[in-house]
Structures are given as C-alpha cells and as structure tokens.
Amino acid sequence: MMIQNKQLVRNVAIYLRLSKDDGDKEESESISNQRTIILDYLKEQFDYNKYYEYIDDGVSGATFNRPGFQRMISELKKNEIDLVITKNLARFARNYIEAGEYIEKIFPNNNVRYIAILDGVDNFEDRVSNEFAPIKGVFNELFCKETSKNVKKSKRKKMAEGIYSCNVAPFGYKKDLEEKGKLIIDKDASKIVKRIFELTSEGKTAIQIADLFNEEGVLTPAEYLRIRGLENRTKKVWTRIMITRILANEVYTGKCVRGKTKNISYKSKKRIYVRRDEQIITKSTHEAIISEEMFNKVHNNTTFGKVKSENASIDAKFSAYMICGECKEKMTRRRSRNFISIFCPSRNETRFLCSNNILYKYEELETLIINNIKKEFEVYFKKNNLNPSLMKKYNVIKVKEIENKLKEQNKELGVLRFKISKLYNDRLQENISEEKYKKIYNELSKERNEKIKEIESLESEKKKINNDDENISKIEEAKQILKKIDKGSLTEKDIGELIEKIYVYKNQIHIFYKFEKMLSQKISCQN
C-alpha cells in the first residue's frame, strides 16, 4: 500500500485580504479566488486537523492594524496553529519591514510556519525564493504608495470640479439622484438652516437657539436623516456645537469646500487639518440657501458660538479628574470674579442634555477632597502596615527560585519539542509506521501540554509577586505624595497616582481611589 507523502500539521490559519486602496480590482484577487487556491494547495500538500479562516475585506496591506490579521495573531496559541498560509506575499502585507519581522522572527519563535503559495516563500525551508521575499515586499509597498497617490489625484480632481462625493449630504441639502455629485436643496431642512442664520443675525447665541429648538421639538439633523433612512444613530437634542457647525459651513452659500483634512501618510488612517489656503473651494456648484451677505454678517459677530476660556491661567489640579455624575461629561473650569468655578459643559450646550446646571466653587470642592484623601489613606496605611523593605527582599528570593524552575522547565520543553520534530521527520521519511507515529506523538504531545501548564503556572506566580512589588512601591510613593498635600505643591500627576476619577453630582461628590481594596467614598457638597 502506497503512503501519500503529505506533511502533517495540527491546525492551519488561512489569511485572506482584499483592498481597493491597494489597487485590488481584478477578480483574480477576490476573497473567493484566494480561498480556492489555498484550499487546493492544502489538500495536495498537507494532512491537518482543522483550518481557521481570517479575512480583512477592504483593509489596506500598508498597515498591520487590521481586525482579521490581529485576531489571527492573538489566536495562534489558543487554536494550536502550526501553519499560516496566504495566496501570495501581497495578501499578507505590503509593508516589507514589518512583514519580515513576522515571517523571519515572530512566526519561527512561536514554531509557526508561513507559506506564500504563488511567491514560493516558505520560512521553514531553505529556498532561493525566500531570499527574494524582502525585494518583493519593497515592490509591494511601492505599488501601494503609487496606488495611494493615484487615488488622491483622482479625488482632488473631483473636488476641484465641485463634485460632492461624501456619503451624506450636509443638513439642508440632499443628493441629486439624476446628476451624481450634485447637491439640491431639501425644502424642509433648508428652512431650519435659514432660521438658524436669521436668529443669529438678530443677536441670539448658539445655546439660546439650541434651547429654543429643543423646546419646540425641532428635529435634529441626525433625526431628520434617520427618518429618511440615511442615518442609524439618533441625536435627539440640539446643542451649541450643532448650531455653530451649521453657521460655520460655507456650503450654504453655494460653495463646495473640500480637502479640509488629509491622512498623515498612506500607511496611517489618522487625519490632520489642512490650512485654509490649501483647501479646494469651488464656487456656484449648487443653489445657495444663505446669501454671502448674510453669512458675512453672522461671522462679523465673532462671539456667536464661543465660550470664553481662561483655563490656562487657572490652578485647579483636581478638576482634571472631575466628571459630571449626571451625564458623565468631563467637568469644565473657569474663573468667575474672585473664585474658580467648576461646572458641567452641557451648561454651555443646552439644558436638555443634563440636569446638573450648578456652578460649584472649586476651592470648596478641593478642601472636601483633600480632607477625605488624608482620612482614607490614614486608615489604609494602618490596615497595610507592612515592612516594605523586608517584603521586597523576600520577593527577590522567591522570584529567583521561580526563574530557576522556569529555566529548567523550558529546557525540558525544548527537548520535548525536538523529539516531536524528529518524530515528524522520521514519519516523512517512512522510518516508522503511521500507527507507531500516532502513539508516540500522542504521548509526547500530552507530556508537552502538561509542561506548558507548569510553565504558565510559574509565570502566573511570578507575575503575582511582581504585582505585590508594584503595590508596595505604590504605597511608598503615596506616602511621599501625601507629604506634599498640605504644602500645596501637588501636581496633576501626583493626584493621578492616588485617585482614578471624581464624580460630581448636584449635592454630592464621589471619589474613586486607585488602590486595591480601597473603597470609593461619597461626600456631601451643598452649594
């Protein structure tokens, strides 16, 4: 009986990727095509238990921050994956430096084999094609960069022509179904836009307009879009920011302003704002809702949507950790006459967002917080009255013992892995029968898994001791910080070492401490 000369692996990870940003337009690069090629190759070359499929559809290969790829890497050990396979190198990545890190270092260190079928790359075999992998990677990356440039040129050309290509039209407009990229006036929504500009020109502030619309039940832009089936999320409340964004948008004068932001590079999704003189402004691309005169009149009043901020000159360190207990927004600070006031920022948006409209005196809140910190830490130090120096010495000895055991266990694990590898090669060369191979493999595999569990247990014990050390260091550091508390020399960083956050309610503050087994505290604060 002839034995098929197939290679044996436990489980396989199939990685599939497609992205139009990389110029993947042809059917030959489709997900289904990649899958077919890989499965045919596996059927011909390998015996395996199971395969796991990881897909990134519409994600560029210039970055490794891809959901499917990251999930695959995190599950290598859990799913006992011995082999990662792609159609070619370009499907794996177009960033040649990071790709090499995975293929030549990360995968081998985890006993994972990588194969790129069409490029003939196999990091477990000594092949000439492996030597050309970095060169292929460079060309893949250059191709990706060139594609990105061409896409940008095409987009900028459309922008210059005044073609509106965003998914959703600005509030007050809708997309022309007959002419692609053209905006037409939405009769109902445009009335709201006109009213916003008219009320502002009459002297109303953005927050006054927001409150008025909320009282009248005027639909917000998000609600309006949801009714038309164009938006999933619903913002039911008008805010100051919503009003100011509409007032600042030149689209309502018939202009198309595009290219306000751009990606830092083709490898990053992070966007930065573009200077005004570099933006693309095309006039008379659609019918105006607001005249240039009305727009300029509103913008000549420079205070229409601003909230004066004097935060730079205010010393209110605890305010960095204060959060409104009602709506969970970060509290805002400002100087009010002779004192510093703390308040919920929704106060500047609309009273419909949050019921907490109290203006707190910062100094009073600070005094209450400092007194509580001193009291709680005094109790905490008494409960944890340990000798830090003695504890650290004991932990050093214990960690050394664990490290010696780990060294021994890892050595034994290495021997077991070598035996499994040798057994695997013996079977390939038909030096042992299939029956004998399976029997010895199961025994070695069981022994290896037990060894891995022992190592993980020791690592866990070591981690616990290190955490104890960190806690001792935190206690020592807290004692040093508390010495500053009465001298007024605390920094925001010092405060952050002691507390996590402070919720501020109408008549109560709730302090959350960072220390283990230290309960949060609620204090009354009548204003």
Question: For residue 255, which of 196, 197, 295, 199 has the smallest C-alpha distance?
Answer: 295
Question: For residue 514, which of 526, 502, 496, 527 has the smallest C-alpha distance?
Answer: 496
CB neighbour class for 277 (10 Å; exposed up to 12, middle 13-18, buried from 19): exposed
CB 261 within 8 A of CB 272: yes
Structural domain boundaries of the chain? 7-147, 173-300, 307-527
Residue type, 461: E
Instruction: Give the DSSP letter string of 41-73.
Output: HHHHHEE-SEEEEEEEES--TT-S--HHHHHHH
Residues ≥6 apart with Cβ < 8 Å to 16: 31, 34, 35, 38, 53, 54, 55, 56, 68, 86, 87, 91
DSSP letter at 257 equals E
Angle of CA points 291, 294, 300, to nearest 5°: 140
**26-81 residue pLDDT tens:** 544 688 889 999 999 998 888 899 999 999 988 877 777 889 999 999 999 888 89
pLDDT at 12: 94
* Stretch 106-129: mean pLDDT: 77
Q: Which residue has better confidence, 47 or 178?
A: 47
pLDDT at 135: 46
**394-412 residue pLDDT tens:** 778 888 888 888 888 888 8
Q: Over pLDDT 70: what percentage of the chain?
A: 76
**348-403 residue pLDDT tens:** 777 788 888 888 888 888 889 888 888 888 888 777 665 666 777 777 888 888 88
CA gap 343, 323 in Å, rounded: 9
pLDDT at 289 over 80: yes
pLDDT at 11: 92
**130-160 residue pLDDT tens:** 444 454 544 455 555 555 555 555 555 555 5
**191-242 residue pLDDT tens:** 999 999 999 888 888 888 988 998 888 888 888 777 666 655 566 788 888 8
Topology, domain 173-300: Hect, E3 ligase catalytic domain fold (3.90.1750)
| CATH class, range 7-147 | alpha beta
CB 455 within 8 A of CB 414: no
